[in-house]
Amino acid sequence: MRRLLGGAGMVALLAFFASGRYMRVEGHGHWEGQPALHMLYLSRHIYILATALVAIALSAYVTPLPDERWRRVQWLASGLVVAAVVLEMAAFVVEPVWGQGRTRVSAYGVYTLFGGTLLHALASVAGRRGSKTADA
C-alpha cells in the first residue's frame, strides 16, 4: 500500500514538474490572448500537485490495519487516490483540447481524491477503534 501510494505520488510529482515545464516553454503561444485557456492549464497543473502531495503524505503514514475488512477499505481508498492521480494527469492533456466548458475528467479526479482520502480517514479511525475494543 505504501509503495503503491508513494509510487503514484512520485509519478504525479514528476508530471507536475513536466507540466510546469511545458507551460513555461511550449504553452505561451498556445494560449496567447486566451486567459481562460491559460487558467485551465494552470488549474490542472495544480490539481496534479494536489494528488501528488496527498499520495505522498498517505504513503508516509498509512499502516495496514489488522482487521481484514478495514484493510480492504484502505486498499480501495489507495486505489481511488491512484485513480485520481491518473485522472488529473489526463485532465491536463485532454481538457484544454476539448474546450473550456468540458472539465469532467478533472472533476472526477477531484471527487475520486476526496473519496479516497475520506475512506482512508474512516478506515483509520474505525479500524483503530475496533482493535481497541477487541483488545479489551
Cβ burial of 5 (10 Å; 0-12, 13-18, 19+) is buried
Is the pLDDT reported for residue 136 higher than 60? Answer: no
State the DSSP string of 67-78: SHHHHHHHHHHH
Tell me the average pLDDT across 62-91: 95
pLDDT in tens, 93-130: 998 877 766 689 999 999 999 999 999 999 998 877 76
Is the model more confident about 131 or about 60?
60
pLDDT in tens, 75-86: 999 999 999 999
Per the prediction, the chain carries an average pLDDT of 89
Please tell me the pTM assigned to this model.
0.88
Between the CA of residue 34 and those of 40, 90, 121, what are the distances in Å? 10, 21, 40
Q: Cα(60)–Cα(87) distance, rounded to whole angstroms?
A: 22
